[in-house]
Amino acid sequence: MASTNSWTHEIESSVAAPRLFRAGVMDWHTLAPKLAPHIVASAHPVNGEGGIGSVRQFNFTSAMPFSVMKERLEFLDEEKCECKSTLIEGGGIGSAIETATSHIKVEPAANGGSVVKVDSTYKLLPGVEVNDEITKAKESVTAIFKAAEAYLIANPDAYN
């Protein structure tokens, strides 16, 4: 019997929440191939304009254990820098994972920066066990937001 599991992760950033949310979440399909070309070969919207129900696809290099991932935006509150998406294709769906969702919220921090809070919930297929995948997932999420942070610090007029 497959069971539902989850993990949470927090990442501190010196960048303000709205800028980091726009760059690291909402426009990551545009920035990822530029900032992490060794991991993301290309990315693009599949359908929608970035609102609820929109689907975007990421195509990965051989650095990843899968070549493609499609995600659908299920919930979005841009003012609160919060969204929830569901993995609908690739990324282990059908081979190891039955379902997977990610809830991301970027909250303002007292120092003018922000804290990224990620809550990932997934249901493994029967017989599949998680080993170091959670650690790798947390490292990947951290790398995404740190790449976006570095870009925003280097480009202070971007995503204002």
Output phi, psi for 117, to 5 deg: -115, 120
Whether 11 has a pLDDT exceeding 90, the answer reads yes
What is the mean predicted confidence (pLDDT) over 8-24? Answer: 98
Split at pLDDT 50, 70, 90, the class of 3 is low
Residue range 4-34+76-154 forms a domain whose CATH class is alpha beta
CA–CA separation, 72 vs 90, rounded Å? 12
Closest CA to 116 of 131, 127, 103, 105: 105
Whether 1 has a pLDDT exceeding 60, the answer reads no
Question: What pLDDT score does 122 carry?
Answer: 93
Q: What percent of the chain has pLDDT over 90?
A: 74
What is the DSSP pairing of strand 4-13 with strand 55-60? Answer: unpaired
Quick: pLDDT tens for 107-134: 999 999 999 999 999 999 998 887 778 8
Average pLDDT, the chain: 93
Quick: pLDDT tens for 137-150: 888 899 999 999 99
Amino acid (1-letter code) at residue 124: L
Give bridge partners of residue 136 from the DSSP assignment: none
For residue 158 the two structure tokens come to 């971007």
Quick check: 101 and 121 in contact, CB under 8 A? yes
Q: Where are the domains of the chain?
A: 4-34+76-154
* Cβ burial 78-104 (10 Å sphere, 16+ → b, else e): eeebbbbbbbbebbbbeebbeebbbbb
